Structure 1
Amino acid sequence: MRRRERLTGFFIIFILLTFSAYSSSMNVGGRSGLADRQIGRTSQINAGQNSMRVLNNGKQKFNTAVSGTKEQLDKESDINSSQSLNTNSGRSDKSISLDQAADNVSQNFKNERKETKIVTEQREKNTVQNKKQDQQKTAFEKRYEPQLIDQVKVHKVKSGETLWDIAHEHGLNIDSLIGANNISNMNSIKPGQEFKILPVKGIIYRVSPGESVASIAGKFNIKTETIMRDNNLEDPSGLKIDQKLILRGAKPEFSYQDRLDQKFMYPINTRITSYYGPRWGRVHEGLDFAAPMGSPIRAVSSGRVVYSGWATGYGYVVIIEHQKGLRTLYAHNSKLLVRSGESVGKGEVISRSGNTGNSTGPHLHFEVQVNGRPENPLDYINR
């Protein structure tokens, strides 16, 4: 009988404990969700444990166990509910933090790409700008870099000086003086006479029609790069007729003795209308002969035709090389009768006079070129 009462009492206690745990879980259920079920299971386990304590301690400790269990369950329920809320809140916060982190990473990546693009564009812009500035600077420096032709000095002859004295004073040689000046008589110079002094050993050369940097370099056996550098040339094909160049290391091809031995005939037997020398604010570099349209023009000496064709300013022109360093030029023709490369004899008709190029009327413009520069033809014509 007593045993049955004990079992009945234990059963009632178990029911009360279960109901109490259920009520507690219902009070917190709206906030805890799945975590509350775990609390309920925990309460049941705790209740069972407390029940076992009651069984072991006897009937006297029943009320204490019930009260302690209830208080403990209430406390644990509050704690577990708080933990559950914190857990759910933590999960929610973690979810939000992950989303925010992903957004931040994406935004940072976009910002980095944008900044990289801006930096790259700025670098490209700076590179282009620096390149333009370098090109402008290079063009400026090339434009204003002094050429050798601009460094030519002038020496005025003093009483008692000779050409050898002048050459020695300036560290040059006789060839450099001959190559830069019109010297008809090396043994007879006068005080006050002026001579060009080159900054280097070489000659001053005047470009003739049909010539190029390559042909001039080959003629004097020097490098094209040297000619272009010394004369600040950017385009080797951009030479202009009558342009003056300094040829470093070149020697004059027509010597003083050659000048004494060479005498020319007249290209046409008519009067001279304009002489060599200053005219209209510049130097007239030849002789003008009166020549009615179509008059025959003759070679003043034998030689080889090096150019026959059109040249700016000269019109139809013939150039004959009689020997190295000595040429004659015949301009403003109406008709050309010889071709480049042909050999001609002294007195041979080479063209017909005309009015082509820069001309004010039918006439012949005749030049004598020594080492590429025009000299007074009267010093070479046999009168």
Structure 2
Amino acid sequence: MQQVSPDRIFLSSPHMGGAERVLVEEVFASNWIAPTGPMVTRFEEDLARLTGMGHVAALASGTAALHLALRLSDIGPGDEVWGATMTFIGGVAPILYLGAKPVFLDVDPDDFLIDLDLLETQLKAAKANGTLPKALITTDLYGHVVDGARVAALRRDYGFVWISDTAEAVGAYRDGRHAGAGADFVILSFNGNKIITTSGGGALASDDAEAIDRARFLSTQARDPAPHYEHTTFGYNYRLSNVCAAIGVGQLQVLSQRVARRREIHELYRERLGQVPGFVFSGEAPGMQANRWLTTMRIGSQAGVDGETIRLALEADNIESRPLWKPMHMQPIFAGADYYGGNVAEQAFADGLCLPSGSSMTDGDVARVCTIIEDLATPR
């Protein structure tokens, strides 16, 4: 008899709430299908309320949002843009679009956020050498939130533009403020694997109204006011579709529930696997409420098993997991880039694993994952 594979457990799959379909049907009924329309405006207003930022432009992706933030910051050839080495390529590649120079810094060993002590040390050295960065990108990795008050103080002292890559931290908070609060620009993402999704999409938020107006202009091919197509500069096709915005409006209605469930899933993993020698989970800094977009686990030698063995065993049971982000300074494309720090990010990549964390997972799904991992670990 042919063995039937168990249902697939994805790393982080979309989780609809029900209102999305109604809102999309409303869009179809109105025939506002083009990448403008009332749902885009509504989504932007909802995002402004969520983040506490004054103005938001809904865009096709978080990468597009970062590209616009860098351009609006007058980043150009030769300018240095600093950021954490542990991130997704979309949080770095736009630096190259503008001919600027990425510089990477190591991360904190617990939450994988940029090491702020290291950053401050390097900023002091750069100031003495006259080589300060023009912009800093902080990445709220896996839904943890950087210490915004400290970054803002460093910005005041060293004069860089602060861009908060909050793509993975929608619905996360620190000191009572949404992730990215206080930054010059905030990058959001609503890709299909994020905590809420618009299928594909992102947003750029800022308290600078003129900057967001300019972002909207550049994201719609930089068309000047005229009855014909008139252009004094170039732009991009980066605006979010009215259809996708309707999905986003519906998803925001269940965001708090999605965050709560992912935090529950994280605690289920911690309660069960955290008892196994060698398995370590990221904590939360004081005042932080991470959204736990993905639960990450470090695997020490005491576990008697490595991350790749676990990943392959999970995959054999139709369960998706993934190594932590490979540090950017280890990527072939950035082989010649400047890097500051030790081997924290490298070691986290070597011994870390992202566990399936989607909010639609049941307690039974989590137990299925845990059982496989426990069976591989050193007997207690």
Taking structure 1 as the reference length, the TM-score comes to: 0.22
Kindly name which structure, 1 or 2, has the bigger radius of gyration based on alpha carbons. 1
Q: Which has the higher strand share?
A: 1
Q: What TM-score, normalized to structure 2? A: 0.22
